[in-house]
Structure 1
Amino acid sequence: MKDLLVELVGKISSGGLPEDEILRIANEAAEAYADPEAFLAANPDVNYDDTYPIPLGEWVVVGNLPDNVLFQADSYADLLAQIIASFSSEVPFNIKPKQLTKAKPLSALNSIQVQLSSMNKEMGGYVLLNFSEPLDDELQAVLVYGCDLPRVMELCVAVGIPATPAYESLRQAQSS
């Protein structure tokens, strides 16, 4: 489990986390998955109880991802603002958050995904991926390189963290 978590956290951080931080998150999450009671006993400062809709190990992963890796927002404009802030100021974005304030969700998400797909071409662009269950916000996502998407999806299934490409997921939901 730990090796899967190391690979998953490494891929969803897309270079945004140092190796020691990836290992720390994966170690803690693996311990939490393996023995939740022992993990909580050893870490009394962890704010978790069994009424939460996600397992403790998943909670540890999500709770330890910094805001330049895990994006949480109630609107697509806010989500885009967080994504833009996670990149260097030299990285150009063709769309601005204010352009999405009145857009319908599918249109806003399409604009974001088109922008992300055009970036970092040698890695297949980025894919906005719904990640885990949003607890406090409407939207919760990570960016993954397009070339890593199939493996990230396999890893999410293997460790039990729900993940879906955001645009495809919303498009399918609206067409059914």
Structure 2
Amino acid sequence: MQAQLEELIGKISSGCMLAEDIVRIAAEAAQAYADPQAFLAANPDINYDDSFPIPLGEWVVVGSLPDTVLFQADSYEQLFQQIVDSFGPQVSFVLKPKQLAKTEALKALNRIQVQLASLSPETGGYVLVDFSEALDDELQAVLVYRSDLARVLELAVEVGIYAAPAYEAMQAAHPPSK
């Protein structure tokens, strides 16, 4: 499982994390999946209990990802602001977060996805992917190169972490009314 976790974390980090951090997080998560009680005993500072809706290993992965990789927010405006901030000032965005303030969720998500698709043309752009179960925020997502999307979704299934392209998942949840 550790190799799958390393590959998954590597692909969702899109070059934003050091290899040694990816290996460390994957190793810790694999230990937490394999023997949650032993992991908690060895790491008494971890604030996790059985009331959490996700397994300890998944919690370790999610909790270890930096805010340049895992985006958490209560609105699409906030989420997109975090994404813009993660790229830094050297990347200019046509879409501005404030343009999403009064936009219906599906339209906001579509606009974000169109903007992300135009970045990194050599990888087919980015796809906003819902990742794991949001615990404290309404939205929780990562960016994945379109060229890596199929493998990321496959790895997520293998390790048991929910992942789905955000726009497609919302479209499926809210089909157009006739």
1:70 CA displacement: 0.2
**Deviations, residues 105-143 of structure 1 (Å, cap 9, x unaligned):** 000000000000010010110000000000000000000
**Whole-Å separation in 2 of the counterparts to 1:45 and 1:13:** 25
Correspondence 1:121-132 to 2 at 5 A? 121-132=121-132
Instruction: State the TM-score, normalized to the length of structure 1.
Output: 0.99
How many residue pairs align between the two structures? 176
**Whole-Å separation in 1 of the counterparts to 2:53 and 2:32:** 15
**Whole-Å separation in 1 of the counterparts to 2:173 and 2:92:** 31
**Whole-Å separation in 2 of the counterparts to 1:90 and 1:32:** 38
**Deviations, residues 47-82 of structure 1 (Å, cap 9, x unaligned):** 100110000000000000010000000000000000
SS for the counterpart of 1:52 is coil
The equivalent of 1:174 in structure 2 is: 174
Q: Give the fraction of aligned pairs with identical amino acids, expressed as a percent.
A: 65
Counterpart amino acid of 2:47? N
**Whole-Å separation in 2 of the counterparts to 1:112 and 1:171:** 14
Runs of 4+ off more than 4 Å: none
**Whole-Å separation in 2 of the counterparts to 1:164 and 1:151:** 12
Superposed CA RMSD:
0.7
Counterpart amino acid of 2:34? A
SS for the counterpart of 2:17 is coil
**Whole-Å separation in 2 of the counterparts to 1:119 and 1:92:** 10
**Whole-Å separation in 1 of the counterparts to 2:2 and 2:62:** 15
Unaligned runs of 5+ in 2: none
**Whole-Å separation in 1 of the counterparts to 2:85 and 2:165:** 21
**Deviations, residues 1-20 of structure 1 (Å, cap 9, x unaligned):** 00000000000000000001
Counterpart amino acid of 2:19? E
The equivalent of 2:18 in structure 1 is: 18
Counterpart amino acid of 2:114? V
SS for the counterpart of 1:44 is coil
The equivalent of 2:163 in structure 1 is: 163
Counterpart amino acid of 1:93? F
1:26 CA displacement: 0.2
1:88 CA displacement: 2.5
SS for the counterpart of 1:47 is coil
Unaligned runs of 5+ in 1: none
